[in-house]
Amino acid sequence: MKRTIYILGAMMLSFIALQANAQVSNGLYRALTDANSARVVALGGLSLPMHDGDLQTAVFNPSSISPEMNNQITMSYVGDFNVGTHFGTVQYSHTFDKVGSFAASVQYYNYGNFQYAEADGYTDGSTFNVSDYAITLGWGRELTDKWSIGANLKYAGVQYETGRAGAIGVDVAATYWSYSNWALTLAARNAGRQIFAQELNVENKWLPFSLDFIASKKLNHLPLTIILGYKDIQHWNKIYDDPLDLSGYYDPITGQYNEPSKAAKFFTNLGCHLIIGGELNIGKNFFVRAAYNYETYHNMRVPKKRSLVGFSVGVGVRIKGFEIDYARSRDNIVGSPNFLTLRIDLSKFK
């Protein structure tokens, strides 16, 4: 077991060394960073350290893949009707004796139709489509009753009008479970790069790599699980220069730029790395979930306008071999996408 953990740790360090300085943005393959299963979205969109056999967690946290997921299938749909985008995901898991548990997923992202236009703005009504997709094969194994590890191999592709591109990446993760209901996950996600591009001028060929640490604690006397995540460990500075100066640092009368203090920068950066969430069980078969992502609020806020940008909420209902989860994530002030996931345990119908 120790040898396996050392190998996994060495892999994580290699990924960090290769990619920590190679990218500072999500680039062309941003879809790989967007969660689209309702439970993961409602709890902040991170590699959830859950140990309850929910296949939804496998795409972001391969170390959660376990025999409890055997013969499960999930179908997720995401719709943002304000902008016409639609996402879909199908997952399936199966466990093989002495080898481990596997989970396969196919994700498809349709960003809608766009009109062709001339330089002067003239359009003849013809349109083209923009879409992304990702195919992932994950493996997970429980080493002991306290340790589990896992890895994902993924292929991501894009189709922008006649332009196409593809990339290969991997995820590796390890999770520690304590007897006092603590769970700790370290996950290195999207380590890889583009392998081809046709009719697309891509400057950043690296995948949107992220090293995340997530902790969860199930309270002893309350059916509540608290989740705290620290994302993008490899990249501290999350503040970007706003050319519109929406925060009002530039004085148009004096022409002076009042740069924020070092303390303000520190706490802004720290907040952009943190995500906090919680899941409350009401009875055995009903769940209420919520999370807050300060980075989303910081990047998408409009000064002097109150909003719930950065918040995500959701509910879940379990009925025998079925579970239906719904989530709504406030990513901007214009609209909020709706996430719906159906999870089926096929083993219960044999």
Q: Which residues is 114 bridged to in the sheet?
A: 128
Task: Indicate if the alpha-carbon torsion angle 256, 262, 264, 265 is positive or negative.
Answer: positive
For 204-212, what is the mean pLDDT?
Answer: 88
As a whole number of angstroms, the distance between CA 270 and CA 309 comes to: 18
Q: What is the pLDDT of residue 21?
A: 45
Collapsing DSSP to helix, strand or coil, 39 comes out as: helix
What predicted TM-score, i.e. pTM, was given to this entire model? 0.84
The pLDDT, as a whole number, for residue 2 is: 52
Q: What are the pLDDT digits (tens) for 288-310? A: 999 999 998 888 877 777 778 88
Confidence class for position 24, pLDDT limits 50, 70, 90 = very low
Considering just the CA atoms, what is the radius of gyration of the chain in Å?
21
User: b vs e for 215-224, b when ≥16 Cβ sit within 10 Å of the residue's Cβ?
Assistant: ebbbeeeeee
Find the range with the poorest average confidence among 57-71, 98-112, 234-248: 234-248
Q: Which domains does the chain have, with CATH numbers?
A: 2-349 (2.40.160.40)
3-state secondary structure labels for all residues of 247-312:
CCCECCCCCCECCCCHHHHHHHHHHHHEEEEEEEEECCCEEEEEEEEHHHHHHHCCCCCCCCCCEE
Q: Does position 6 have pLDDT exceeding 50, yes or no?
A: no
Of the ranges 47-56, 250-259, 288-297, the best mean pLDDT one: 288-297
Per the DSSP assignment, residues forming a β-bridge with 324 are: 317, 342
For the segment 277-283, the average pLDDT, to the nearest whole number, is 93
Instruction: Indicate the pLDDT class of residue 314, thresholds 50, 70 and 90.
Output: very high
Instruction: Name the band, by pLDDT with cuts 50, 70 and 90, for residue 3.
Output: low
pLDDT of residue 62: 95
pLDDT tier for residue 242 given thresholds of 50, 70 and 90: low
